[in-house]
Each structure stands twice: as structure tokens, then as C-alpha cells.
Structure 1
Amino acid sequence: MSRAIDAHQHFWDPSRADYPWMAGDALAPIRRPFGPTDLAPLLAENGLGASILVQTRSSLDETREFLRIAHDTPFVAGVVGWVDLTDASVGSTIDRLRELPGGEKLVGARHQVHDEADPTWIDRGDVRRGLESIFAHDLTYDLLVRTRELPATIATVRAFPEARFVLDHAAKPPIATGFDQYWADRIAELATCGNVWCKVSGLATEAVWTDWDAERLQPYVAHVARCFGADRLIFGSDWPVCLLAGEYREIKQALERCLTQLDPEIGDKAFGPNAVAAYRLRL
């Protein structure tokens, strides 16, 4: 397990940048700086040897900073950054990012699609042109969507059958309000596209933060496992967002239990090999 991977974690500093999604009293516990020195002991204590650092705001400055951090932080195996998909020169932007220290660790891109007013944003023509540049540079695209955006997401994924997509947080099922069959059906439809991996991450914070456990998460993990299979599930902690619902160890152990109860092979592959394949990591 020394090179097991946490494929979804973040760093931020609200004293230095604006994070619109972090407003409100409920998020006050995580509205403080989190950096590599905070995560390093948690990875070591939980048998994880590497991580993927994922964007948190629509900012090229953040992407540049994350690449610098990756350059200076051996355990950061890859960065999923942000670029403006609607910018006609996004390909040149990616080229410049790759020239920076840490640029070789740029493995993917992401945008907070579920925060767009238009539920079909991901399927717009200008966004598709941006995705073409992402895939021309052999990057993976992380899909940060909820149930509302899944129909447009399915259409987009089908338009790029040779590309690599990763669905973040299993599209955030509404666990707190009960199992949603519409979500489940759209997940099954998306999974028929063989070029999509699914992150088993961010589930505890979709449940009631003070009333969840592995058993509560199990139906959702079991469903994505049935849909995506052993080769396309990826573990991610979603730290430090996950701290709203529990400590790092609690989150990791709950998801590990859910995965290994289904099949030990599923757990083994989700904690490393599948992330390597999805992001083409060089460990």
C-alpha cells in the first residue's frame, strides 16, 4: 500500500484568494489554509503514498501554483488544473503550463460545471472545442456534475469516445434525502461509455454530516461498482472538504470497507492502479 493513491484532494488559502463556493456558516470549519504539510502525515498514517491535487476555483493562477507545489512535493503525483474551455487559445495555454516547473505533472483539467446556470453547459459548442484541445494534449477531463447535468454529460462523453473522463464524487448523489433512481439510471447510462472512470469520493458530505457510516454509503458504492466494474472505480478522499463529515481516517476506512466488502479486487484496484490508468500517472 506504500504507493496507494488518494486521487482527489485539494489545497487552498482563503486569506489569499476568493473561493465563492466556500461561503456560509456551514463551511466555516474548512475556511482556513490547507497545504502539503497538513496532508503529508495523513497520507502516511493511512497507508497512502501519493495523491492527485485537484482544482478548487476557476483560476489559471491556482493551476500555476498547484504545479509549483507538485514540483516541490514528491507525494503529489498529478495535478488536475483549471483552464478556460471557452477560450479559443486554450491549447496554447496548456503548452505554457507544461513549460512551468511541475508542468509534467499536469494530468487533467476540471471546471465546476454544476455551478453553471445552464445544465447543458458541458455540451455547448465552444466548450466542446475546448475539450478537443484537452484531449489533443493527452489530458484527462474531470466531470464535476450533479444529477441535473448528467444528460448533457452523457452526450458529451459519447462525442469523444477516444478521450478519458473521470466522474468526480459519483455525480454527488443526494444521499441525505434517500436513494434517487433517476441518478442511478443516468449513472448506469454513463457507465456504458467505456472511457469514463468514477471516483468513489465526496460521498460522506452528500449524506447528513452528523449521521452517516459505511452502511449508509454502501448502496451508492455498490451501484457505481455494478455500473463501472472493478477497473473503473477510483478512491479519493476529497480532503479537506471531507472534514465537514469526518476525519481523514474515518472517510478512508469507510470507503475502503464499502469497496472491499464488494470484492477485495475492487478495493485493490480503486486505491491505485485505476487512477494510474485514468490519468496516465508516472510514479
Structure 2
Amino acid sequence: MIIDAHQHFWDPARADYPWMAADELTPIRRAFGPDDLAPLLKANGIDASIVVQCRSALEETEEFLRIAHENPFVVGVVGWADLTDGSLGDTLDRLRASPGGSKLVGIRHQVHDEADPDWLLREDVRRGLAAVFARGLAYDFLVRARELPAAIATAQAFPQARFVLDHAAKPPIADVGSTEWADLIKALGACGNVWCKISGLATEAVWNDWDADRLFPFVAHAAKCFGEDRLIFGSDWPVCLLAGSYGEIKSALEACLARLGPRVRDKAFGVNAAAAYRLAVAS
């Protein structure tokens, strides 16, 4: 089972996406749905995908679960729910009982958009995370270097929980990296309960001037920090279209992983995602 562990669906005509307002995002400011993704997965030898939240709205999570219920290739949903809500546990139970609810595998919040870099350390957020983990769900970190110290402390505070770092914490590839990012990623990788998605890397590079060789040092560092069992492939489609086609993104990451060895490549394309999210799919 080859899995794309990070993709999105959205429709700006039906909902508001504040992060999509920038002029440079105009090319992706249109509807993208399962009918758009399915032929791309088939053409690129991908068997299944995990759809990930795009906005802070429970309605989106409910919609994604319906999509997963109707489309067998969507094997997991990382949705949004309000971690600060005292009745979060009831909300999660309701979502899991709805059509497609068995495919709810994780929760995510756009932490890097919060004004407070220590948002994850708030007491109400911690209570919400406890409710997430009590139901066997993972939590996706959407953070940059600024929020990584709080992410490290959070992973340490919940040693039995499962965390997934999205986009390798968005390394500054266009600026040829930073020691801050590299050091903090190493510290997070030392937490054995965190997996790392090598997704969204091309869009952190110069969009019209990147290739696998430019991405490789960042993929290699992530692999060194997290090991062959905790590295996960994700396309970040359709955001990735800003920098390249689905096939170009997949081929570049596959080339990077292949340079690290066939075991690293093979595990990153499916087995590790299944373990991180406890997917009910054949290996």
C-alpha cells in the first residue's frame, strides 16, 4: 500500500480560507476535490491518501469524513476540532460515530498562525490534547522553527501519544536552511513518539528554481533525526502545484529517499504512515 499521507480538498467559493488571500496563491484559489486527485494518484502509482484540514471549522472535518466514506482511496482524515473546547471529547465521539468516522485518524490546528509561540503549552490546549489521545488519535504539528520549542515540550509531556510533524516544520530552503531549524528538528526527533512528513518542501524553496538536489539536504537531515521508521511521504497537493506538478513533487521526493536507501524509501511511502496514524489498511 503506497500512501500519500498529506493532501487537501477545498472550495473557496463555499468557504473562507484566510491563509489563501495572498496574491501569489491565486493559481490554487479554486476548488479541488476527490475527482481531481483520483487520476493523479493512479497515474503516479499511489494507492491511498490522507486528507488534512485546511481551515479551523468543524464543518470541514465533517465534510472530509463524508468524502472519506464515499471514496475508498481516502483512508484517513486529519481534521480540525477546537482543542480549547471543554466538551471536545463529546465532539470527537460524535465525529467518530458519523459516516466515515472510523477514518478520523488525527487532529490538526494551524499553530504557526497563532500569535503566541507557546500556544501548545496553554492549559486548555493541553486538556484538549489529552482528549484527542484518549480516543487513540494522533496530533499533527503544523509549526515552524518559532513554535518548535513548544512542540518539543508537548511531545515530551505526552510520551505515550503519537505526533506527526507536518512539512518537516517548513525549513527555509529558499534561504539555504538555518542552524536553528536543524537543531530544533534534531531535538524533536529525539522524542521517539514523533513522525516527520517530508511534505511541502518544494514550496519552501524558490518555486521556479528547485530540484531534488536542492531538497535532498533537508530530507537527509530529517531522516537522520527521525530514522527510517518515522519518515513519511506527503505530496501537499494541491498547495504543491505552486512549485510543480503532482508527478514532479512525487518524483523529486522519491529520488531523495532513494539516495538514502531502498528501506528508507519504501517505509516512507506507506508503512510509516500506517503506523503513525494506525490506519486500517493492508501493508
| TM surpasses 0.5 | yes
TM-score by length of 2: 0.99
Deviations 1:159-205 (A, max 9, x none): 00000000000000011111201100000001110000000100000
* Identity within the alignment, %: 72
Give the corresponding residue for 1:189.
Answer: 187
Give the corresponding residue for 2:250.
Answer: 252
Q: In 1, distance between residues paired with 2:190 and 2:220?
A: 16
Matches within 5 A, 1:41-120: 41-120=39-118
2:273 alignment partner, one of 267, 272, 275: 275
Q: In 1, distance between residues paired with 2:264 and 2:121?
A: 32
Deviations 1:16-41 (A, max 9, x none): 00000000210000000000000000
Q: In 2, distance between residues paired with 1:9 and 1:123?
A: 27
Deviating beyond 2 angstroms after TM superposition, the runs of 4 or more aligned structure 1 residues are none
Deviations 1:203-224 (A, max 9, x none): 0000000100000000000000
Give the corresponding residue for 2:143.
Answer: 145
Structure 1 position 53, deviation (Å): 0.5
1:10 alignment partner, one of 8, 15, 24: 8
Task: Provide structure 2 residue ranges, at least 5 long, that are not aligned to the other structure.
Answer: none
Q: In 2, distance between residues paired with 1:280 and 1:22?
A: 31
Task: Provide structure 1 residue ranges, at least 5 long, that are not aligned to the other structure.
Answer: none
- SS for the counterpart of 1:58 is coil
CA RMSD of aligned residues (A): 0.5
**Residue identity matched to 1:49:** D
- SS for the counterpart of 1:39 is helix
**Number of residues of Structure 1 aligned to a counterpart in Structure 2:** 281
Give the corresponding residue for 1:37.
Answer: 35
Matches within 5 A, 1:164-243: 164-243=162-241
Structure 1 position 228, deviation (Å): 0.5
Give the corresponding residue for 1:130.
Answer: 128
Q: In 2, distance between residues paired with 1:62 and 1:124?
A: 25
Q: In 2, distance between residues paired with 1:24 and 1:234?
A: 29
**Residue identity matched to 1:137:** R
